[in-house]
Chains A and B, each alone.
Chain A
């Protein structure tokens, strides 16, 4: 065939594209089904949570990462390993709270919002809210209750996307013995 060989782009880029486009179509569908943006945010978080509780096992099985003994390790693992592995980007960890129980992930480019232009009148929508759910679900499986939310979003005109993680408590009861 006259066309070049590697048709359709390299696999890694395509995976990202397929994920981004499917996610976009999902958000668009949710916005048709649910009138207010808060409900859409909730649905996205819920879906993210369901993914998080499963993807953590894939992450732990695949990347033989060490035990996270404190929140700094967690930040390191999330940004340097997990984000790189699954989204191909490495967010910068910064804005540590004095008690080192809160930090931010700064994303130069958020792969989920590659080509997205929000329609007017949807300021309450948190487009990439699924990421918060994934992080919450995953960390809960390793006995960490965290609060995750977007504080800055390039989609809304901010010059960087910032996800804020706050350590709330260790989930004592769910702690599988031996890891306490």
Chain B
């Protein structure tokens, strides 16, 4: 039972706060012998598994490090090209770490503004005017809960599909925003929130919601 992350988006679609809660992303490190059965390819400037799955390594996972040296895009730290290194037999046996890469800040900002437009589309699609806009996006892996305040602030929470009491969390997040961002004289409206006290209270609210919301299922 988990709450994965929280996004807060201002009325212009700008991401003003993002928090990954339990960011324990599964990472798998294996030692391989030549030839490598997995098919890798370059995707979005990263080396990604295109085909083949074993020992928890899945299609879409990215090469995170080789023999401990962290990967930076298509190259390893120090400039060696990852695909070349993996292609040469003399480098074997070779230990490669695969995993899901964290979204970079820019990616998060871009995704937030895309969600903002998606939210708008949701309203235009609505048969009746004045719809609430998207409140829930559901996939097999997660549910995205969204609450937009009357002043246009969107609170987005990504949770495990079975997580309950998320509405309560959304309301609590709004209270934390009102108490610890807006009542902080150093925070200016619609700007990114960088108040530590806000962080603390938000995390506390998530932890409570996680315990309360896990329920019996």
By a beta-carbon cutoff of 8 Å, the part of chain A in contact with chain B is 53-54, 56-58, 60-62, 64, 67, 141-142, 174-180
Q: Are A177 and B120 in contact (CB under 8 A)?
A: yes
Bound-state Cα–Cα, A179 to B133, Å = 8
Asked if B11 and A176 sit within 8 Å, CB to CB, the answer is yes
Do residues A57 and B182 form an inter-chain contact, with CB atoms below 8 A? Answer: yes
Tell me the minimal C-beta distance from A55 to chain B in angstroms: 8
CB 8 Å contact bits of B133-161 with A (1 = contact, 0 = none): 10000000000000011111100000000
Q: Across the interface, which residues of B come within 8 angstroms of A178, CB to CB?
A: 119-120, 122-123, 130-133, 148
- The minimal Cβ–Cβ distance linking B131 to chain A, given in whole angstroms, is 6
- Report A166 CB to chain B, min CB distance, Å: 21
Q: Is the CB of A53 within 8 A of B189?
A: yes
- B146 closest partner in A (C-beta): A178
Pairs of residues from A and B, 9 with the lowest C-beta to C-beta distance, nearest first: A176-B152, A178-B133, A177-B120, A61-B178, A178-B123, A61-B174, A54-B182, A141-B151, A58-B178
**Chain B contacts of A58 at CB under 8 A?**
178-179, 182-183
Which B residues are in CB contact (< 8 Å) with A141? Answer: 151
Are A174 and B11 in contact (CB-based, < 8 A)?
yes
Question: How far apart are the CA atoms of A175 and B123 in the complex, in Å?
Answer: 12
**B200 contacts chain A at the CB level, 8 A cutoff:** no
* A57 CB contacts on chain B under 8 angstroms: 149, 151, 153, 174, 177-178, 182
B79 part of interface (Cβ distance < 8 Å): no
Smallest CB-CB separation from B121: which chain A residue?
Answer: A177
Complex Cα spacing A180 to B129, Å: 8
Task: Considering the complex, give the chain A residue whose CB is closest to the CB of B174.
Answer: A61
A60 touches B122 (CB 8 A): no
CB pair A176 B130 closer than 8 Å: no
The residues of A that contact B189 with a CB separation of less than 8 Å are: 53-54
The complex places the Cα of A179 from the Cα of B132 at a distance, in Å, of 7
Does chain A have a CB within 8 A of B53?
no
Closest Cβ–Cβ distance, residue B195 to chain A (whole Å):
14
Asked whether, in the complex, the Cβ of B130 is within 8 Å of the Cβ of A179, the reply is yes
Decide if B89 is an interface residue (CB 8 Å cutoff). no
A67 touches B150 (CB 8 A): yes
Given contact pairs A57-B177, A178-B122, A179-B148, a sample of 10 additional A-B residue pairs in the complex whose CB atoms are under 8 Å apart: A57-B151, A57-B178, A60-B149, A60-B174, A61-B178, A62-B178, A174-B152, A176-B148, A180-B123, A180-B129
| A177 x B123 contact (CB < 8 A) | yes
Complex: A174 Cα to B151 Cα, angstroms:
9
Are A56 and B175 neighbours in the complex by a CB distance under 8 Å?
no
A142 to B153, CA, bound (A): 11
Q: A58 vs B184: C-alpha distance in the bound complex, in angstroms?
A: 13
Residue on A nearest B149 in the bound complex, by CB: A60
B146 to chain A, nearest CB (A): 10
Report how far A176 CA is from B147 CA in the complex, Å: 12
Within 8 Å CB of B182, what residues of A?
54, 57-58
Nearest chain B residue, comparing its CB with the CB of A65? B150
Chain B residues within an 8 Å CB radius of A62: 175, 178
For residue B171, which residues in chain A have a CB less than 8 angstroms away from its CB?
61, 64
Q: How far is the CA of A61 from the CA of B133 in the complex (A)?
A: 19
Please indicate the chain A residues that have their CB under 8 angstroms from the CB of B174 in the complex. 57, 60-61
21 contacts between A and B (CB under 8 A): A57-B149, A57-B174, A60-B149, A60-B174, A61-B175, A141-B151, A142-B150, A174-B152, A176-B11, A176-B151, A177-B120, A178-B119, A178-B120, A178-B122, A178-B123, A178-B131, A178-B132, A178-B133, A180-B123, A180-B129, A180-B130
Contact pick for A177, options B119, B178, B183, CB 8 Å: B119
